[in-house]
């Protein structure tokens, strides 16, 4: 009989990978399967923020906001190369939320989560301060500037999976859980390779359903359990346009419909605008930003900025489906972003399903999930909370040290461009040295696929970060899809197909102790 895992996890988004990392670090044997690529669902379609959720205060989500505010600085410390502080400018819009209400909300935002490192809120004279210059002339005179953080969301997922695998977890992408059933004293999970169609099975003592938008499908169709909780699928869309201003602040714009829209500096040369909120009914894998949503986001920005944004300016639009817990809220924007667990353990074989959640609170969600499963899992190697201090891969550096790391890469590899060195330092942190491990000249970087993407990096991503296709690399492991042409992406895909069999992925890289 094969290995019986302590824990099997269905779903390779931020919640599944976060639980895998925490569980294996506590001494449990862990198996995780994802039917597509890591972070290919909701986790890569976010607003790219680690934030408390200022507007959730209006819905009295104080516990969620406090937890998220605390997590901002925790996550920044353990993965400083892909998370950075970001200051947001919130102009006061006459006729919408009054100034005193904004002040009160921001006062709570500053103090509810025990902020220690991020700067406090300040009042801004938009007629004098440079952050007022991109705004429509004469329309806004006062604003507030507050702190949150930016994150490379898909890389956060991948780094959790990478660390879990480094600690012994088995991570299998392109692997669908076809069926899960209780068999004796174990869960029997039937798996299917979505590329080859080959089937296999594993056994586990406990099962976590982190299927995201597919959480009910996993419960009802694959595990044969009638879900008590219900998921509310809410579509959120974003657009990316050439950068709208030169400074490094983001904006929070209020809309007359009660929603807010962010404008965020993105990938040096672009601005990210989002998000929308509307109920979604359909296949979550088919979601796309609609023309109506794109127009809405453009109009929302045009109410504030001097420079008009038009749909034809959009260089990239993306949409994701948030699998929120259905709390009966009348509007999608009011549905809770908090997470809810559904626990089922007849015969002592537990199944824990996750509804809702947000990327900022994934680590706390993981801890709470393992608390629910504690009596069924043997691992006690590390106490709860260890993930809040142990750096994620590449994160063993000071929060301000990324530029210095880029300088070090150039000193050791003088043929590197500054742009490439900075991008590698931000993407991989101290593991950038591993990316360049066998490089001693420009020729050793190998084929250039476009912009700063080289064969050397592609091989690293395939060997160490579970990448299998060009899409994995240019949209999830990086955002180089904004800079590469369609022909360059096609060339990359063809190279991957040709070289895939020759790139060795050792067992320790895919995960497992064998």
Residues 157, 38: contact at Cβ < 8 Å? yes
Q: How far is CA 46 from CA 235, 273, 319, in A?
A: 11, 11, 8
What is the distance between the alpha carbons of residues 37 and 52, in angstroms, rounded to a whole number? 28
Concatenating the DSSP letter of every residue in 274-291 gives: E---EE--S-GGG----H
What is the distance between the alpha carbons of residues 424 and 80, in angstroms, rounded to a whole number? 13
pLDDT in tens, 214-247: 998 888 878 878 778 888 999 999 999 999 999 9
Residue 421 is predicted with a pLDDT of 97
pLDDT in tens, 362-411: 999 999 999 999 999 987 667 789 999 999 999 999 999 999 999 999 99
| CATH code given to domain 402-510 | 1.10.8.870
pLDDT in tens, 46-85: 999 999 988 888 878 899 999 999 999 999 999 999 999 9
The rounded percent of the chain whose pLDDT value lies above 70 is 97
Residues 373, 206: contact at Cβ < 8 Å? yes
In whole angstroms, how large is the CA radius of gyration of the chain?
Answer: 23
Residues 410, 416: contact at Cβ < 8 Å? yes
pTM of the model: 0.95
What is the domain partition of the chain in residue ranges?
Answer: 4-42+154-230+336-388, 84-149+232-325, 402-510
- In degrees and rounded to multiples of 5, residue 493 shows phi and psi of -60, -40
Residue 341 is predicted with a pLDDT of 94
Q: Is the pLDDT of residue 431 over 50?
A: yes
By three-state DSSP, how is residue 213 classified? helix
pLDDT in tens, 106-133: 999 999 988 899 999 999 999 999 999 9
Residues 93, 87: contact at Cβ < 8 Å? no
| CATH code given to domain 84-149+232-325 | 3.30.9.10
Angle at 99 between CA 94 and CA 104, to 5 degrees: 150
Q: How far is CA 187 from CA 150, 170, 389, in A?
A: 39, 17, 33
pLDDT in tens, 452-491: 999 999 999 999 999 999 999 999 999 999 999 999 999 9
Quick one: how far is CA 326 from the chain centroid? 22
In whole numbers, what is the pLDDT of the chain averaged over residues?
93
Concatenating the DSSP letter of every residue in 65-109 gives: HHHHHHHHHHHHHH-TTTEEEEEEEEE--TTSS-HHHHHHHHHHH
Q: 31 exposed, middle or buried (CB, 10 Å; 0-12, 13-18, 19+)? A: buried
Q: What is the DSSP letter of 395?
A: -
pLDDT in tens, 140-163: 999 999 999 999 999 999 999 999
Q: Is the pLDDT of residue 505 over 70?
A: no
Residue 511 is predicted with a pLDDT of 56
Residue 514 is predicted with a pLDDT of 32
Residue 77 is predicted with a pLDDT of 97
Residue 168 makes CB contacts below 8 A (sequence gap 6+) with 24, 29, 30, 511, 512, 513
Q: Is the pLDDT of residue 15 over 50?
A: yes
What is the distance between the alpha carbons of residues 451 and 32, in angstroms, rounded to a whole number? 34
| Among the four given CATH numbers 3.20.20.10, 3.50.50.60, 3.40.190.10, 3.20.20.70, the one describing domain 4-42+154-230+336-388 | 3.50.50.60
Q: CB-side exposure of 107: number of CA atoms within 13 Å?
A: 6
For residue 299 the two structure tokens come to: 């109009």
Can you tell me which residue has the tokens 């296709």?
469
pLDDT in tens, 150-203: 999 999 999 999 999 999 999 999 999 999 999 889 999 999 999 999 999 999
> Peptide bond before 254: cis, by omega within 30 degrees of 0?
no
Residue 510 is predicted with a pLDDT of 52
Can you tell me which residue has the tokens 């605008």?
273
Q: How far is CA 428 from CA 158, 368, 396, 434, in A?
A: 11, 29, 11, 9
Average pLDDT on 37-45 reads 95
**E strands in 256-399:** 260-266, 270-274, 278-279, 316-325, 339-344, 351-356
What is the distance between the alpha carbons of residues 441 and 415, in angstroms, rounded to a whole number? 7
């Amino acid at each position: 009989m094969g290995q019986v895992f302590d824990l099997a996890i269905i779903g390779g988004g931020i919640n599944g990978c976060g639980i895998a990392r925490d569980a294996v670090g506590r001494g449990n044997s862990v198996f995780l399967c994802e039917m597509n690529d890591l972070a290919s669902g909701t986790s890569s379609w976010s607003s790219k923020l680690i934030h408390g959720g200022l507007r959730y205060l209006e819905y009295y989500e104080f516990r969620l906001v406090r937890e998220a505010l605390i997590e901002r600085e925790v996550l920044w410390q353990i993965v400083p190369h892909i998370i950075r502080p970001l200051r947001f400018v919130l102009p006061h819009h006459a006729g919408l939320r009054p100034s005193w209400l904004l002040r009160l909300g921001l006062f709570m935002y500053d103090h509810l989560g025990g902020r220690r490192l991020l700067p406090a809120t300040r009042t801004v004279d938009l007629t004098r301060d440079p952050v007022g210059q991109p705004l429509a002339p004469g329309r806004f005179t006062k604003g507030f500037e507050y702190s949150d953080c930016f994150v490379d969301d898909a890389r956060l997922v991948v780094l959790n999976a990478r660390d879990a695998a480094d600690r012994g977890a088995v991570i299998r992408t392109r692997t669908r859980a076809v069926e899960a059933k209780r068999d004796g004293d174990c869960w029997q999970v039937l798996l299917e390779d979505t590329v080859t169609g080959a089937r296999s099975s594993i056994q586990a003592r406990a099962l976590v359903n982190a299927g995201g938008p597919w959480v009910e499908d996993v419960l009802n169709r694959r595990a044969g359990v009638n879900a008590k909780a219900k998921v509310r699928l809410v579509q959120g869309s974003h657009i990316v346009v050439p950068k709208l201003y030169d400074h490094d602040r983001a904006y929070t714009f209020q809309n007359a419909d009660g929603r807010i829209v962010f404008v965020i500096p993105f990938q040096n040369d672009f601005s990210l605008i989002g998000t929308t909120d509307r109920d979604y009914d359909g296949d979550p894998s088919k979601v796309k930003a609609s023309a109506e949503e794109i127009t809405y986001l453009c109009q929302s920005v045009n109410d504030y900025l001097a420079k008009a944004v038009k749909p034809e300016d959009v260089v990239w639009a993306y949409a994701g489906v948030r699998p929120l817990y259905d709390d009966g809220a009348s509007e999608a924007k009011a549905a809770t972003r908090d997470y809810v667990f559904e626990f089922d353990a007849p015969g002592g074989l537990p199944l824990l399903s996750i509804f809702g959640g947000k990327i900022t609170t994934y680590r706390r969600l993981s801890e709470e999930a393992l608390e629910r499963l504690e009596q069924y899992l043997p691992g006690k190697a590390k106490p709860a909370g260890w993930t809040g201090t142990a750096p994620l891969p590449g994160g063993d550096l000071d929060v301000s040290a990324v530029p210095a790391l880029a300088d070090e890469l150039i000193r050791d590899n003088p043929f590197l461009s500054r742009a490439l060195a900075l991008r590698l330092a931000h993407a991989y942190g101290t593991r950038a040295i591993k990316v360049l491990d066998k490089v001693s000249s420009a020729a050793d970087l190998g084929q250039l696929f476009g912009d700063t993407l080289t064969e050397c990096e592609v091989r690293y991503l395939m060997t160490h970060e579970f990448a299998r296709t060009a899409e994995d690399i240019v949209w999830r492991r990086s955002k180089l899809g904004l800079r590469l042409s369609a022909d360059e992406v096609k060339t990359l895909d063809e190279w991957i197909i040709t070289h895939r069999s020759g790139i060795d992925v050792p067992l320790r890289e895919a995960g497992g102790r064998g």
